[in-house]
Each structure stands twice: as C-alpha cells, then as structure tokens.
Structure 1
Amino acid sequence: MTLKRTLQFATALIIMALLWVGLDGQEALRLLARADPVWLIAAMAALTVQTVLSAMRWRVTARPLGQSIPLGRAVGEYYLAQVVNQSLPGGVLGDAGRALRARHQAGLRRAGAAVAIERMAGQVALFLILAGGVLAVTLTPGGLALPDWVLGLILTLLAGGMAAALAIWQARRLPGRTGQSARDLHGTLCVTLLTRGALPRQLVLNLAITGANLLAFAFCARATGTVLDVVSVAVLVPLILLTMILPITVSGWGLREGAAAGLFPLAGASAQAGLAASLAFGLMFLASTLPGLLVLLAERRSRPVPAPIQAEP
C-alpha cells in the first residue's frame, strides 16, 4: 500500500473517530441498530436500479465513440468497477480498469473518454438537481432555511462548474496542442452528449440515475428515523453526496458522514440522525456492490489454467 493510500485510510478513520466522540456516536449507533429493514431494502433496490441504469448510460456514451458493449457485460463491468472503487482510495481505479478492459474496439483513448464523460454526466445531473432545489428554496418562502455559508458553498460549486464549461469553450480558440486538445474534448462531448440522438437519452438516464441515488439516501434516512421532504432531498443530499468525489478518504467515508451531520439540522433533524443515515447509506451502497465479487469470481474461474511445465528428461 502506498503512502497516499495509507494516509487516505488514516484520514477516514480519524474523521470517523472525531465524529463518534463529538456527536455522541452511541446515539447514532442506536438509530442505526433500530433501522427499518423495509426502507433499507428500498434503498438497496434504488442503488441496484442506479447501477443498471449507469451501465446503460455507459453504453449510450460509448456507442458514438465506436464501442458496442452488450448490456450484460456493461452491467457486470460496472459492478466490478464499483467493488474496486469502494475497496480502494481515490474512487476512480475501478473506472480506470473498466476503460482498460473495454479498449479493444476503439482504443484506450476513446474507451477512457467514454468512461470519463459518463461519470462526468452524472455529476452534472447532480448539480442540475441541486440548482433546481436552490431555486425552489429561493422562490418558496417559509420552507428550508439555508444559512449564508451553505448558499455560498452552493453558489461556489455552481460557479465553478460553469467556469469549467466556459474554459473548455474558450480554449478551443487557443493555438497549438492546448487548443487542439480543447477542440477534441469539445467534439467528443458534443457527439456523446449533445447530438439530437444522444441528448434525450442522456437527460433521461442521468436524471433517473441521480434520482435513484438521492432516493437511496432518503430511504436510509427514513430507515433511521428521519423523513426528508423533497426540497431537502434536492438541496442537502447532493451536497452530502458530492463529498464522496473528494480523494481525501476511501470512497468518501468520514467526509460524507461529517457533511450529513452538519446539514441534517437544517432539515429539523439531529446531527446524530445525519450520521446514522449516512452510515446506513454507506453500508447499503457497499452491500449493493457485492455482485461485483461474483463477476470477479466468475472471471477467475473462466480463465484457462496454464499447462504444467514438463521437466526435460
């Protein structure tokens, strides 16, 4: 294990320990122990739907780049990537492996682009739902009250996303390799996301995938005793889940729980309830990736056994 990965594991453990001590971890554990299994099963179902739809999104994204991936293989590869992402720090090694294993039809560069754009589209959908939730809060007096620091954080995130898109657009005019790379990226984004044939499918799939992810967290909150309204799910849950993309800990553990504990009081719940809901979500998400182990086991069994080396007489 590298020093970076060791530090990421250590960071996750330190954050979880601080939350446990500072937020009455015993109370969060009691809420988790009393979790309603019906809502946990609903969360598992939502996460399973998310995985299958994500595999379909990968196929739709990869097709314009010259890759034809059967649905069964796409689902299996996606499960395998999730297992790796959940097991190792960084959260992207499984996706890198997915691109590497799918490189044979169109080459590694296009396979990597399909995976990267597919994941990026999911984050864009999360930002869109977050923006819609903030707009609903702004236009609906007497609803969810967001403090200035939360509004500032949301506006910073949205502004950062818009600035990145504008930078890519403007970089196309630059000379040399930088401009050519920007033009190539812009063309790839257009053909995979913005053409008349791709855009409707991408919109439906990405909104459905993001909705399933948000519902899974809301179901885990309900299982541990917190009912979140639609606006809270649209505003607070995206902020909680966005912490998972930060490569500071392993798969967002610790960061996600800290964000949930900090944001749940805005919805009228306790910090302990946020911690319990996030722990339940993390466990359900981890459990939902277990079919990836079956894919790995089946792959190992299908590998040919090398013939023994015959000793020379």
Structure 2
Amino acid sequence: MRTVWAWARPFAGLAILGLLVWRLGAAAFLDGLRLVGVGALAAALGIGLLTTVLSAWRWRLVASRLGLRLPLGCAVADYYRALFLNAALPGGVLGDVHRAVRHGQHEGDVGRGVRAVVLERTAGQVVLVAVGAVALLGQPSLALAEAHRVRVTPTVVLILAAVAGGALAAAIGLRLWRGGARWRRAWGTALTDVRLGLLARNSWPGVLLSSTVVLAGHLAMFLVAARVTGVSAPLLTLAPLLLLALLAMALPLNVGGWGPREGVLAWAFGMAGLSAAQGLTVAVVYGVCTFVASLPGLGLLIARWLARPRPARPQIELEQRVLTEVAAPGGGA
C-alpha cells in the first residue's frame, strides 16, 4: 500500500494539471511562462532569501529547544537545499526528509532531528491555517460555494472544529490503547517535544513571529505573480484566494509543488468573479518564481558534491606507495 500511495501522489498532481489543460487550454500555462521577467525573478530571489533565512532561524530555534546544535549558517544552507529538492522532486517533502535525517545523523539522534523538522513545519502550517480560516470567514462563499449556500458563522466553525478535534482525540486514544506501552511512550515524547520546542516561553514568540513573516513573504510572492499577470484586484480581495492556494500546496498530491495549487487557484479566481484562466496563470508564474527562488539550493548541492572527498583509485594508491618506497633511504637498492 505504501508503494501504491507513493506512485499515486504524483499521478494525482499530473491528473489535476491535465484536467486544467483540458478545461482551460494550454494558453494559461504558456502565458505564465511568457510573462515571467527579470524583475519578477529578482523579486522572487529577494523574497526567497528573506523567507528561507527566517524559516531556517525557526528550525534552529526549535532544534535548540530539543537539545540539538544547529548553527544558523548551516541551517540556511540545508534549508535552501531542502527547498530545491522539494521543488524538483515529486511529493514536495523529500527535501525536508533529507535535511531532517542529515541533521539527526550529524547530531547522533535521527529521531530527534526528524521531530525538530516536523515541529518546525507544523508551526508554519498552524499559522497558515489560522490566518486562512480568519480570511475565509470574511468570504464564506469561497469556503462553501458548492455546499448549497450554507451560511458560515463562527458557531458553525466552532462546532466543526469540536467535532474534528473529538474525532482526532478518539482516534489517538484508540491507537494508544491498542498499541500499548510503545505508542504511549511515543505520544509522551511528542507532547514533551511540543511543549519544549513550540510552547515554551523562550520559544513560541520567535516561532510565531518567524512563521508570520514567512507567510507574509509567500503572500508577497503571490502578489508579485498576480501583478505580473495583470491582476489589478486589491490585496484584500486577493489575500483569501492566495491563502487557499498556500493551503492546497500542503496536500501531498503534487509534482514538485504543481497540481493542487493550480487547481485551487483557478477555482478560487472563478468563484471570486475573476477569470479562472487568469488564476491558473498566476499559479504558473508563482510556481516559476518559487523554483527560481530555490535555485541557490542547487548551487549548494553542487558545491557540496564537488567538495566531497573522493577515495583514490587502487592503481593511484599503488603508484604512490611505490614512489614513497623508492624515495625512502635505501629504497632504490
């Protein structure tokens, strides 16, 4: 089943892209590639630098609270490499897996290294979901446009959240009861990590601040993409649409980030009274900009590969040993 799911995720992203081409045509994709200019790419690199440094600082903060060493320079370099791998490989998370395992191996505790990355990414997603929920409450038609015009109110949201939280708690409780001591220890470790890494007084302000600024950077990148494509709608109108696209990017049904983002943004633009094709073009421009913003990670990967020590070939080792012996006193006798 794991193998089937691993293959199904990229195919789902490709299916979404194929459906968009079938419904909206290829012109929206080609327009997005054509409209990306030097100014947009420069803005993408600048915004990418800001968000990467702050994300790496958030990772360093969480890791240090879990007892792991992580210099900021190393964190920024590893984060850039992870961003490039996320953008270049299917699934969108392989880069994060790489930096988590590598950091854990370097510190001698792979489990704790993985948990630090999971907590760091979770903090960003929690801020995104919270801000997205507030924005969607201002435009409920986007959230339930197809649900028979059900009115979204704070009471409805609280009821749905309570039901979802109760179901999650019941599932966790059942798993702990059936899993025995092993699962109870794992759950206790996870709660301790959350308390130390995210909720401690010397941790949560920095995590919240960095996550908020990183989210603002992603929205700024989307706004650049919207302006490049000629969308003149105000930010207050675009913000909920862009937040929906960011939420869609968290779905593991993509090919290097492509798929759900384009589908959701095309749908959201259409529901907001804008052009669905224009929404797709904005998503394409954003995808190109984020990929360019991750290219420093490719340079760092190449630099690491070039700097990696290479073992000498056996023949070279033999020649060096013979030369050493001959050059030694009495070696030529």
For normalisation by structure 2, the TM-score amounts to 0.80
- Paired position in structure 1 for 2:99: 98
| Whole-angstrom distance in 2 between the partners of 1:164 and 1:73 | 40
Q: What residue ranges of structure 1 are gaps of 5+ in the alignment?
A: 139-143
Distance change in 2, residues 1:35/1:105 (3 Å): closer
Secondary structure, counterpart of 1:42 in structure 2: helix
| Whole-angstrom distance in 2 between the partners of 1:215 and 1:56 | 20
- Matched residue type, 1:30: D
- Give the aligned length: 305
Shift of 1:206: 0.7
Residue correspondence of structure 1 range 214-253 to structure 2 within 5 A: 214-253=219-258
The root-mean-square deviation of aligned C-alpha atoms, in Å, is 3.3
- Matched residue type, 1:129: V
| Whole-angstrom distance in 2 between the partners of 1:93 and 1:168 | 30
Please tell me whether the aligned partners of residues 90 and 251 of structure 1 are also in contact (alpha carbons under 8 angstroms): yes
Residue correspondence of structure 1 range 141-180 to structure 2 within 5 A: 147-149=144-146, 159=161, 163=165, 167=169, 171=173, 176-180=181-185
| Whole-angstrom distance in 2 between the partners of 1:246 and 1:145 | 18
- Paired position in structure 1 for 2:69: 68
Residue correspondence of structure 1 range 182-221 to structure 2 within 5 A: 182-221=187-226
Larger radius of gyration: 2
| Whole-angstrom distance in 2 between the partners of 1:302 and 1:161 | 53
| Whole-angstrom distance in 2 between the partners of 1:122 and 1:160 | 22
Please tell me whether the aligned partners of residues 40 and 219 of structure 1 are also in contact (alpha carbons under 8 angstroms): no
Shift of 1:137: 4.2
- Paired position in structure 1 for 2:277: 272
| Whole-angstrom distance in 2 between the partners of 1:97 and 1:246 | 19
What do the CA deviations read for 1:71-101 (whole angstroms, capped 9, x no partner)?
1111110111111111222222111110111
What do the CA deviations read for 1:114-146 (whole angstroms, capped 9, x no partner)?
0000011111010111122134447xxxxx876
Dislocated runs of 4+, deviation >6 Å: 172-175
Shift of 1:43: 3.7
For normalisation by structure 1, the TM-score amounts to 0.84
Please tell me whether the aligned partners of residues 10 and 255 of structure 2 are also in contact (alpha carbons under 8 angstroms): yes
Please tell me whether the aligned partners of residues 41 and 289 of structure 2 are also in contact (alpha carbons under 8 angstroms): yes
Quote the sequence identity (%).
Answer: 36
Please tell me whether the aligned partners of residues 80 and 293 of structure 1 are also in contact (alpha carbons under 8 angstroms): yes
Shift of 1:193: 0.9
